Amino acid sequence: MSVEVERKFICSADTLKTLEEIGVCVGQRQFHDQYFDNPQFDLTLRDMWLRKRKGCWELKCPTAAVSGTEEMSGEHSEVAALCTRYKEITNLHEIKQRVMEVIKDVCEDRDAETDSSQQESWLRKMNLSCFAEFTTVRRSFTLEEEGVHIDLDQADFGYHVGEVEVVIPEGGDVQAALEKIERTAQKLGLTGHQRVEGKMHIYLKRHNPAHYTKLKSVHIL
């Protein structure tokens, strides 16, 4: 299992120019994301994000609380505050297990009526349906700094956002990842001191403001 440490940023014309100078564009692709939850939003209210992209499932979950040995110094805590950290689970069996631990309302009869999409009967059993979907055009860059990946996303609802990302193994060196992200942010001339909103923030504000407000009130968004 891996952990994604990531800082989002708004990509100004100047930032783009710098990125094109110091980074290598490794490609552009387009994908459609569908996010799933039950009617009570039991997953997202636990900061768990179940997604299907290009036929593959992924569950992003919060990492365990910062332990004593991992405590951040002042400088690191500032960087950490701008970043998110999520465990990424891509094994479908494990995803189902994790989701089942949270969703108590599992009903074996729910798929009795139709078997048109038998493969995904687990979604019906757990009463999961798509609550958000959008298409993204993504340009990806790498930098000389090892393990740093930069994506520039353009969502089909008109939001542009960049992210500097470092993926580490579970239990890996979070501080080293934060340092790489900080060095990259400095090279790109990023100045913001507040977390930048992701695509989901903007999508939910527009399409499900009540759920957006709920997630904000419990500090998940």
Binding site for ligand V4E (CB under 6 A): 6, 8, 49, 60, 84, 86, 163, 195, 198-200, 220-221
Contacts of 133 (CB under 8 A, 6+ apart): 32, 33, 34, 35
Nearer to ligand V4E, 149 or 187 (CB): 149
Q: Please enumerate in sequence order all residues whose Cβ is within 8 A of that of 100, keeping only pairs 6 or more positions apart, or say none.
A: 106, 126
- Using the minimum distance from each CB to ligand V4E, give the nearer residue, 3 or 123: 3
Please identify, using beta-carbon distances, which residue of 22 and 196 lies nearer to ligand V4E: 196
List Cβ neighbours of 140 (8 Å cut-off, separation of 6 or more). Answer: 25, 26, 27, 28, 29, 149, 150, 151, 152
Do 23 and 142 touch, CB atoms closer than 8 A? yes
In whole angstroms, the minimum distance from the beta carbon of 108 to ligand V4E comes to 29
What is the smallest separation between the CB atom of 195 and ligand V4E, expressed in angstroms?
A: 5
48/123 with CB nearer ligand V4E: 48
The candidate with the shortest Cα–Cα distance to 4, out of 140, 209, 178, is 178
Q: What is the nearest approach in angstroms of ligand V4E to the Cβ of residue 7?
A: 8
Q: Residue 171 Cβ, how far from ligand V4E at the closest point, in Å?
A: 20
